[in-house]
Structures are given as structure tokens and as C-alpha cells.
Amino acid sequence: MQAFATEAGRIANRRVVIREGLACGTGEPLLIIAGPCVIESESLTLRIADSLLAIANRLHLPIIFKASFDKANRSSGRSFRGPGLEKGLAILSKVGRETGLPITTDIHEPWQAAPAAEVCDVLQIPAFLARQTDLVYAAGRTGKTVNVKKGQFMAPWEMRHVQAKLQEVGNHRVLLTERGSTFGYGNLVVDMRAIPWMQQLGCPVLFDATHSVQLPAAAGDRSGGLREMVPYLARAAVACGCDGLFFEVHPDPDHALSDGPNMWPLDQFEDLLRILLRIREAVVEQLRHDTAGTPI
């Protein structure tokens, strides 16, 4: 921690090219990753993707579509997990073809990395699995951008070890995501200092605004959440200078098959993004003034 503290306020130049015309980090627009927690059906997934495409076009904002083909980290074995790898990737591939949106999904086992990389622009490592070396190596070897969520049990400066694992297999296209830390039983707390601390590693840093309001296992056999807290944390993260934001969104969160209590309503998403973009403009303008024109 001391090494990070002595560098307070000095944020490394950081930029990752995800694909042609899309990058995240220094000098780039705020990146948004959004979509439903899990693929519930092909029709619903495409409907959500179409809505996100329309928002992206109206706001001139880069949006990566996210949905999981399998939610392996569930409280109960009876919980809905998704359609599985083969069917799920087929649906995500269709989303990419029909909307042109970049795609991401999370992987849980090393063997899933290669097939997921054939469809996705970004591979996501779930927070519970951030220290799983073989999984991180497998994702890195695909050459795709890898977004690693900081484990709820990890300090921000520990993410340097995850970054090093990816670099060991030749992958420097690394995004890191803050999503809260375990706070006693059944609760999370967000330390916004994690954003500039992880940025000092030279990686773009995103903030997961919806998983950060989870109440793990609060509903007995499933997680609860404080959805109403999403805008507060998202605004704070943008004010802290995050490079992007992650949201799980759904047209009817109260009846979603996974993570409903913390997902943000799709019909309120654009209004929230407009507020966040105004904060971002103010932050960027102030940083430009403070750094005499240095790219943000």
C-alpha cells in the first residue's frame, strides 16, 4: 500500500485498443459495458441489445454488450444458470452480427477461453476467480482484451499480480474493474481509492456499478441488492476518474432470473448515462486545466 500511496495523484498513462475504432483509457471516451446478467432467451437478449445500440447511437457513446452464457457462481444449485456455452455463444454471435456491438462474456474454466474468444472482443474474469492462475493464463493466451474484476477479498494493489500473469503470456490488453469489497457478512463496501490506485498499474480501470450494490446471499438462497444505490456509486466513480463503467440492465429487473435486485432498469439507463457524461465532461475539463493540456 505504501508504494501506491506515495504515487497518489500521479496516474499512469493507460490505453488499451479493444478492436479497430474502439479503445479504453487515456484520451478515450467513457467506455460502457452493459447488458443482462445472464442470457435468459434469445429474443430478450436481442431486444436488450437493440435498446443499448439505440442508446449508444443517441449518446455517441461506446457500449460493449455483456451477457453470461453460464452463471456458475450462484448461491444455490437450483438457481438459473443460463443456456450453456454452445447455445449462449451462438446467441452472443447473433447479437454481434445484427447490432455491430462489441461483445463480452465471463468465463469460469480455462477450456472456455478459446471458444469464447471466437465470438467476444473482451473476455471477462469474474471477481470470485480473479486469482485462478490457469483461467487468467488461458484468457490471456487468446490475445483478446481481458477484463478482470477485482476480487471482493483482494486489495487494489494485489491486482498487479493478475496483470503480471497476463503479461507472462504476452497479453498487455488488460482492463481492471472495481466492484466492491466484502464488508462483514452479506454486504459490500466500495473504496473509491481503488480506481486511481489500480490506474497506477497502467491499466484502464472500470467501475461495476451494479455488482457493487449486491448483498451476497441476503435473500437466503440468492443475493439481494440495493438497486437505488447504483446512481450514487456510479456518479462517485466517474468523479474519481474511472475509464469506464459496467452495468447489468434488464427491462424488468424484479422478474429477472439472476441478479435482479441489483440490476438497473433498462428504461432508466439512458437518463443515468446522460448525468454521468455531464460529470465526466466536468472532470475532463478540470484535469485538462490542471495538467496544461496533457491527454486524460
Give tens-digit pLDDT for 163-177: 999 999 999 999 999
Q: Assign 1 a pLDDT band (cuts: 50, 70, 90).
A: low
- Give dist(CA 101, CA 2) in Å, integer: 41
Domain-wise residue ranges, the chain: 2-290
Q: pLDDT digit string (tens) for 195-218?
A: 999 999 999 999 999 999 998 865
Residue 6, pLDDT above cutoff 50? no
pLDDT 10s digits, 217-261:
656 566 788 999 999 999 999 999 999 999 999 999 999 998 889
Looking at residue 290, what is its pLDDT?
75
Read off the pLDDT band of 8 (50, 70, 90). very low
User: Which SS3 state, helix, strand or coil, does residue 87 take?
Assistant: helix
Taking residues 94-109, report their average pLDDT: 98
The pLDDT mean for the chain works out to 92
Spatial distance between the Cα atoms of 231 and 60, rounded to a whole number of angstroms: 21
Are 51 and 252 in contact, with CB atoms under 8 Å apart? no
C-alpha cell of residue 244:
469506464
Q: What is the pLDDT of residues 254-291, one digit of tens each?
A: 999 988 899 999 999 999 999 999 999 999 988 777 76
What pLDDT is stored for residue 74 in this prediction? 63
Q: Residue 126: pLDDT band by 50, 70, 90 thresholds?
A: very high
Interval 38-95: pLDDT, tens: 999 999 999 999 999 999 999 999 999 999 999 877 666 777 888 999 999 999 999 9
Tell me, yes or no, if the pTM score tops 0.85: yes
So what's the pLDDT on residue 221?
Answer: 60
Query: What per-residue confidence (pLDDT) applies to 218?
Result: 57
Q: Which residue has the cell 447488458?
A: 35
Q: What per-residue confidence (pLDDT) applies to 287? A: 79
Reported as type and span, the H/E element at residue 163 is helix 159-168
How long is the chain?
296
- According to CATH, the topology of domain 2-290 is TIM Barrel (3.20.20)
C-alpha cell at 235: 456518479
pLDDT, position 292: 60
More confident site: 245 or 186: 245
Q: How confident is the model at residue 5 (pLDDT cuts 50, 70, 90)?
A: very low
The reported pLDDT for the residue numbered 11 is 67
**pLDDT: is 34 or 224 the higher one?**
34
For the chain, the first-to-last Cα distance in angstroms comes to 25
